[in-house]
């Protein structure tokens, strides 16, 4: 086994920051050595095979992106990053674990969907990966199959209150799935938007000639998110199941989560970088020479981008600061403009939903530290530690401490990252949702289980080295 010493940096965990060297032996962290330490391992450090100089830099646990959709079939097409390109781009951006969504739909077997995802990921992932299970068709068979998920290391599943005819579940189905989740210890992840009502609004807009991407945001009004969030909270409450609401974007939905938490309910919320930085006005309503007002299609995702003027973006930052929101995942679901987003050129309802951000989440959240939105430790907590605790990986992942996997990122606060398709773009889309964003920081080194994947601006990782993470139950509940 070879040893690596990450030397001279500031180790940042969710609990705080300390000057320390980190000693890696094989795939594990074996010691965190503060200056003058006489701890076991100090001798070993002197003779490490490789030394990585982290002077003036932060040494953080590798990012965990708990919401990705590699190769998701959606809207008659398929997300363009697979486990190879997607996890490689993740590593470039300091993310060393992903939890992707295996898919089951009506008439399909859960076991088949899961097996398909294992097939797609195995031998292709550059970093470690786990799965959540989408239950897109709640019936007797899928409810029965939920009973076996924990044994498979799949300890969370997602339901949709949106997308009628695709993944949608009605209240009766949701209630039954939550009862099953409560019984078997699964975390329920909810896409909380009132899909049937949204579809009516969307049809009315389209029929009156309002067909551009901007109207995707108008149809998916914040009331539809607030209402569904409230309903999900109540359904979870009556079953006693914990609830994790994904991709929160409306300030009123955060208020629902906050009120539920204040009332003592086990309710959690995730937002995404797009809801922190991108808006209905600037992006969804954008036009360009190339695309006209179809430019906004680049940012069609659900929940939609919200109005900055109405304060939704500020509310997301505030929720992160006050822990009414616990995590930031990307909901990475990339589609190209050409041939994919273009499907909805004449009708926003046909634009495949999704934005690609897997490469930029760690950077975009670090900018929140620079801008005084969150603390350094909160940054690490949001991008790595809470995802690990929420989804049963903590100790192995999400922390720099002896015994943990050596998933380590050396982050340079004096470095700089310019985002754009001609600059740092390793995702598979033909555009970047983050074109022109400037980050006052830089991922210098990414290590996954002791192996360097990114260093000195070079990619040296290996396709297929990523391992399946058989996850435990959530560690976020008493």
| Residue with nearest beta carbon to ligand URP | 353
Single out the residue of 75, 137, 195, 354 in contact with ligand URP (rule: CB under 6 A). Answer: 354
Phi and psi at residue 278, to the nearest 5°: -110, 150
Q: Which residues are paired to 105 by β-bridges? A: 136
Distance CA 406, CA 248 (A): 31
Q: Which residues are paired to 268 by β-bridges? A: 244
Contact 58/384 with Cβ under 8 angstroms? no
Rounded to a whole number of angstroms, the minimum distance from the CB of residue 152 to ligand URP is 21
Token pair in block for residue 430: 């033909």
353 binds, options Zn ion, ligand URP, none, Cβ within 5 to 8 A by partner type: ligand URP
442 binds, options Zn ion, ligand URP, none, Cβ within 5 to 8 A by partner type: Zn ion
Question: Coil, helix or strand for 294?
Answer: helix
Rounded to a whole number of angstroms, the minimum distance from the CB of residue 302 to ligand URP is 4
Phi-psi region of 81 (alpha: psi -120 to 50; beta: other; left: phi over 0): beta
Comparing CB distances to ligand URP, the nearer of 7 and 361 is 361
DSSP state of 344: G
Distance CA 246, CA 269 (A): 6
Cβ count within 10 A of residue 328: 29
Single out the residue of 104, 239, 302, 424 in contact with ligand URP (rule: CB under 6 A). Answer: 302
Rounded to a whole number of angstroms, the minimum distance from the CB of residue 72 to ligand URP is 6
Single out the residue of 100, 152, 295, 331 in contact with ligand URP (rule: CB under 6 A). Answer: 331
13 binds, options ligand URP, Zn ion, none, Cβ within 5 to 8 A by partner type: none
Distance CA 425, CA 92 (A): 9
Site for Zn ion in 311-340 (CB under 5 A): 331
Stretch that binds Zn ion, among 34-42, 189-197, 277-285, 401-409 (CB under 5 A): 189-197
Single out the residue of 301, 380, 383, 410 in contact with ligand URP (rule: CB under 6 A). Answer: 301
The count of chain residues that interact with ligand URP, using the rule CB under 6 A, is 9
Cis peptide before 303 (omega within 30 of 0): yes
Helix (H) or strand (E) holding 412: strand 408-412
The count of chain residues that interact with Zn ion, using the rule CB under 5 A, is 6
Q: Tokens 């950077």 — which residue?
A: 363
CA triplet 44, 48, 52: central angle to 5 degrees? 130
Q: With binding defined as CB under 6 A, does residue 333 bind ligand URP?
A: yes
Token pair in block for residue 307: 């109005």
Rounded to a whole number of angstroms, the minimum distance from the CB of residue 466 to ligand URP is 22
Single out the residue of 132, 191, 360, 378 in contact with Zn ion (rule: CB under 5 A). Answer: 191
Comparing CB distances to ligand URP, the nearer of 73 and 292 is 73
Burial status of residue 153 (CB atoms within 10 A of its CB: 0-12, 13-18, 19 or more): middle
SS3 readout for 230-241: HHHHHHHHHHCC
415 binds, options ligand URP, Zn ion, none, Cβ within 5 to 8 A by partner type: Zn ion
| DSSP symbols for 158-185 | EEESS-TTTTB--HHHHHHHHHHHHHHT
Comparing CB distances to ligand URP, the nearer of 132 and 180 is 132
Q: With binding defined as CB under 5 A, does residue 361 bind Zn ion?
A: no
Q: Tokens 């490469």 — which residue?
A: 359
Q: With binding defined as CB under 5 A, does residue 442 bind Zn ion?
A: yes
Q: With binding defined as CB under 5 A, does residue 412 bind Zn ion?
A: yes
- List the end-to-end C-alpha distance of the chain, in Å, as a whole number: 38
Rounded to a whole number of angstroms, the minimum distance from the CB of residue 21 to ligand URP is 40
Stretch that binds Zn ion, among 169-177, 230-238, 282-290, 439-447 (CB under 5 A): 439-447
444 binds, options Zn ion, ligand URP, none, Cβ within 5 to 8 A by partner type: Zn ion
Single out the residue of 5, 20, 48, 69 in contact with ligand URP (rule: CB under 6 A). Answer: 69
71 binds, options Zn ion, ligand URP, none, Cβ within 5 to 8 A by partner type: none
Rounded to a whole number of angstroms, the minimum distance from the CB of residue 191 to ligand URP is 5
354 binds, options ligand URP, Zn ion, none, Cβ within 5 to 8 A by partner type: ligand URP
Comparing CB distances to ligand URP, the nearer of 191 and 306 is 191
Comparing CB distances to ligand URP, the nearer of 348 and 379 is 348
Q: With binding defined as CB under 6 A, does residue 353 bind ligand URP?
A: yes
Binding mask of the shown chain, residues 220 to 259, with x at each position contacting ligand URP by CB under 6 A: ---------------------------x------------
Distance CA 197, CA 379 (A): 36
SS3 readout for 446-476: EEECCEEEEECCEECCCCCCCCECCCCCCCC
Distance CA 171, CA 150 (A): 24
Residues ≥6 apart with Cβ < 8 Å to 5: 21, 22, 23, 24, 45, 48, 50, 51, 52
DSSP state of 123: T
Rounded to a whole number of angstroms, the minimum distance from the CB of residue 256 to ligand URP is 19
> By the criterion CB under 5 A, which residues form the site for Zn ion?
191, 331, 412, 415, 442, 444
> By the criterion CB under 6 A, which residues form the site for ligand URP?
69, 191, 247, 301-302, 331, 333, 353-354
């Amino acid at each position: 086994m070879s040893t690596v010493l990450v030397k001279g940096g500031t180790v940042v965990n969710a609990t705080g920051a300390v000057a320390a060297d980190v000693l890696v032996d094989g795939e594990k962290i074996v010691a965190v050595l503060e200056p003058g330490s006489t701890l076991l391992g100090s001798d070993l450090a002197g003779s490490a095979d490789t030394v990585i100089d982290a002077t003036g830099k932060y040494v953080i646990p590798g990012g965990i992106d708990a919401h990705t959709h590699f190769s998701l079939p959606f809207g008659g097409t398929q997300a363009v990053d697979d486990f190879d390109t997607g996890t490689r781009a993740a590593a470039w951006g300091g993310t060393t674990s992903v939890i992707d969504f295996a898919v089951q739909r009506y008439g399909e077997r859960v076991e088949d969907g899961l097996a398909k995802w294992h097939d797609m990921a195995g031998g292709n992932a550059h970093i470690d990966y786990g799965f959540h299970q989408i239950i897109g068709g709640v019936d007797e068979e899928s409810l029965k199959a939920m009973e076996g998920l924990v044994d498979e290391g799949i300890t969370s599943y997602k339901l949709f209150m949106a997308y009628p005819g695709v993944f949608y579940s009605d209240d009766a189905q949701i209630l039954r799935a939550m009862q099953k989740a409560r019984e078997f210890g699964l975390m329920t992840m909810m896409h909380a938007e009132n899909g049937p009502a949204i579809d009516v609004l969307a049809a009315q807009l389209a029929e009156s000639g309002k067909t551009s991407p901007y109207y995707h945001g108008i149809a998916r009004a914040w009331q539809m998110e607030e209402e569904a969030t409230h309903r999900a909270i109540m359904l979870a409450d009556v079953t006693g199941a914990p609830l994790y609401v994904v991709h929160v974007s409306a300030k009123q939905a955060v208020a629902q989560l906050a009120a539920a938490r204040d009332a003592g309910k086990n309710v959690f919320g995730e937002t995404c970088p797009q809801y922190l930085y991108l808006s209905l006005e600037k992006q969804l309503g954008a036009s360009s020479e190339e695309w006209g007002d179809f430019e906004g299609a680049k940012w069609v995702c659900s929940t939609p981008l919200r109005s900055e003027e109405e304060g939704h973006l500020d509310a997301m930052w505030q929720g992160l600061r006050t822990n009414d929101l616990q995590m930031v995942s990307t909901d990475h679901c990339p589609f190209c403009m050409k041939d994919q987003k273009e499907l909805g050129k004449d009708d926003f309802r046909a634009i495949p939903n999704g934005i690609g951000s897997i490469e930029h989440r760690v950077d975009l959240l670090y900018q929140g530290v620079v801008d005084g939105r969150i603390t350094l430790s909160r940054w690490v907590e949001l991008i790595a530690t809470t995802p690990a605790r929420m989804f049963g990986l903590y100790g192995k992942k999400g922390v720099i401490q002896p015994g943990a996997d050596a998933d380590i990122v050396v982050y340079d606060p004096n470095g700089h990252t310019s985002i754009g398709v001609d600059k740092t773009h390793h995702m598979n889309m033909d555009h970047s949702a983050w074109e022109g964003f400037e980050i006052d920081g830089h991922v210098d080194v990414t290590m996954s289980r002791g192996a360097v994947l990114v260093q000195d601006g070079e990619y040296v990782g290996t396709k297929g080295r990523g391992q399946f993470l058989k996850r435990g139950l959530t560690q976020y509940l008493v």
